[in-house]
Structure 1
């Protein structure tokens, strides 16, 4: 039986090595990450200086928050799409970062949100109260005199951490000139120096707040197929290997229209909310609903946190054991996980949008700490201290990421729930060919015994990859004994049952 297991394992790994491996995404907020020049703000050079940390963590791609010039803390609403926010650096710092990321065989994705602009943007200043402007159709107005723009309703945070002072105008994505401009602008960042080598360009984009319909007046519908699909198709002509991810504007439960339009991976909110619930039934229902909608070659991106969600460590009753469970769910449920910066340290902050400075070390112990918004983050065990503690949350993330990068089920397998008898024990499979990676998690603070119901699992071949109960599944038993808040990962042979 062991020889059979090794045979299947050897078949699996060459296939994965030759295919495009799924990303392990790390969402960087460069303003809050590392300050390279002592001005209190994180910047692009600071991200480059901390690539060793990210590489040691094990992530394979970084997602930069919007680069363009903006007065808002996350830079979602642009003053100018063609200029890098000067607090981040300039084109040299961007290219230096991308070249170094690529040298390390990692990827860079840019997050963008181009369906809105600030009141300082030329499209707005040029068209407001000026119907004859060349930008008159670039912004949605509700009157013919261009005095009543259609404004975005949310209240983003300004860089000085105050409430909203300016309105956000909605861009008219039905205007052909807008489509041409956005396509041209995004194409520029694929090859900034224009040498056709693409080594200094983005590997793809994360579209934030992507929606098929924008506004309540019905004038902008079918945007995924009419606007974003042709834009993505045009960009892929410049680089066929591009990847496109999307975070839906609404908390979408139907994914098909996004995938049909050309999106490769969709950030899913229901699994994220379920993950924070630590409820077996909620997790099972959310995962089943999400992963059943994924066609071949597409992915649901599993996250525990993002800019618009409270930090999971801030939830009432959360402890380090629960944070380790959240890490396992985040990294093992789907093919593409996303980690919010500082999540691996257990940063706490109940407020959104997320703006906490990354806690590299204790105050006074080193340079580079971001100080522009220090009051937003309660005390967190620093990266320096956690790196030195083998039992820390940071080192647990490193351990889990290392495991998922070497396991065929996590790298190329499909999700399948596997029922068990435990009240608070959640179990699922990642199946690749005739191998199954079994993940069993005790969501409670009490020891529980669960009996696995799936007879397709060849438990006699099981090999423990993570956890400390090596006596499970002995002598033909289908029972697994789970200590409080325990995570166990097993790899075994799998022969699916055929149904008529």
Structure 2
């Protein structure tokens, strides 16, 4: 946190921290538990307190459209139409044996460790599901319910938010019917709460501001234009981005994140382009957002090893604290776990580490 504060960071966005068998935690086994690898709830609240003591904010990333086969709603309702959770998950046909797929028609996804885990879609139109999820969101804003928000998070990033979930026509008008009422409740609870939406189609976000009343979206068209290095295209995207943003709303400006190739790899480590990208990231109108290690020039591109979440590991490698890969505290959870380790971008004495750059 001292290092982040030295960089001038004012808010931290963590990817999902609830219990999940996936390394990225985007598909939950249990929405209420904090992954023990992150220290459980005790560790999470310690982090939150430390951030607030520094005057920094914490945003929680939430993906609540899907659950894994290890979630209680699934384990109790699969093959059991009489389960109290039978209508929490969308099943096709009788018998509760054909759960609705997630995006791209997936019904399971292989984890980097080889474990194939089923994933299914929950029914956001079910009033009981809605009440549960609304309560979950309210909890993290004020965990002990005393009206003192110092122990609560400062806002949310809503992952994969869209009006028609996965473009299937089965769960529609979600922005106005599900998300906007939730955001209104959260603002009534704590007027300082901010909501960021990751618009699923990577557009300008006009619909999300108009129908969902989000506070901010991600400047995806601008991100794509920066990587192309076409001056006219970039100027057009800048104009279109901010003309699409109502007064009082915001665009988060970025040049890389956990779902994209690292900018240093995109520009083949060209020093001039790296500086231009950094300048645009920080100086354009909007809220600048940086991905950990971007400031060091960390590298990484997506690979293709079939339908597995391992494809993105090289975009999400351990932050390079030290000059050597074996430095103390390096988060090499994926070491020697598959072909991605053979392609790791982490190298000793390559100049891409905090230790070397601060020397």
Same fold per superposition (TM over 0.5): yes
Contact 1:179 1:231 in 2 (8 A): no
CA deviation string 1:464-491 (max 9, x = no partner): xxxxxxxxxxxxxxxxxxxxxxxxxxxx
CA deviation string 1:290-330 (max 9, x = no partner): 11111110011111111111111112544122111111111
Partner residue of 2:277?
A: 326
Partners of 1:157 and 1:276 in 2: CA distance:
30
Q: 1:166 aligns with which of 108, 113, 117?
A: 117
Q: 2:292 aligns with which of 322, 341, 353?
A: 341
Partners of 2:2 and 2:165 in 1: CA distance:
41
Contact 2:293 2:319 in 1 (8 A): yes
Q: Secondary structure at the match of 2:151?
A: coil
Partners of 1:260 and 1:245 in 2: CA distance:
14
Report which structure shows greater RCO (CA 8 Å, sep ≥6): 1
Gaps of at least 5 residues in structure 2 are 303-310, 336-340
Partner residue of 2:101?
A: 151
CA deviation string 1:233-277 (max 9, x = no partner): 111121111000011122234523334422100012111111111
Q: Secondary structure at the match of 1:54?
A: helix
Q: 1:111 aligns with which of 57, 61, 66?
A: 61
Partners of 1:97 and 1:158 in 2: CA distance:
31
Q: Secondary structure at the match of 2:289?
A: strand
Partners of 1:342 and 1:211 in 2: CA distance:
29
Partners of 1:249 and 1:142 in 2: CA distance:
24
Partner residue of 2:41?
A: 91
**CA displacement at 1:101 relative to structure 2:** 0.6
Q: How many residues align?
A: 337
Partners of 1:291 and 1:341 in 2: CA distance:
26
Structure with more strand by fraction: 1
1:63 aligns with 2:10: no
Partner residue of 2:306?
A: none
Partner residue of 1:372?
A: 333
Query: What CA RMSD, in Å, does the superposition of the two structures yield over aligned residues?
Result: 1.9
Describe how 1:39-438 pairs up with structure 2 within 5 A: 51-153=1-103, 161-162=112-113, 165-315=116-266, 317-351=268-302, 353=312, 354-363=315-324, 366-374=327-335, 375=341, 376-379=344-347, 381-388=352-359
Partners of 1:300 and 1:310 in 2: CA distance:
20
Contact 1:224 1:258 in 2 (8 A): no
**CA displacement at 1:196 relative to structure 2:** 2.3
Partners of 1:386 and 1:190 in 2: CA distance:
37
Q: Based on CA coordinates, which of the two structures has the bigger radius of gyration?
A: 1
**CA displacement at 1:54 relative to structure 2:** 0.2
Partner residue of 1:392?
A: none
Gaps of at least 5 residues in structure 1 are 1-50, 389-500
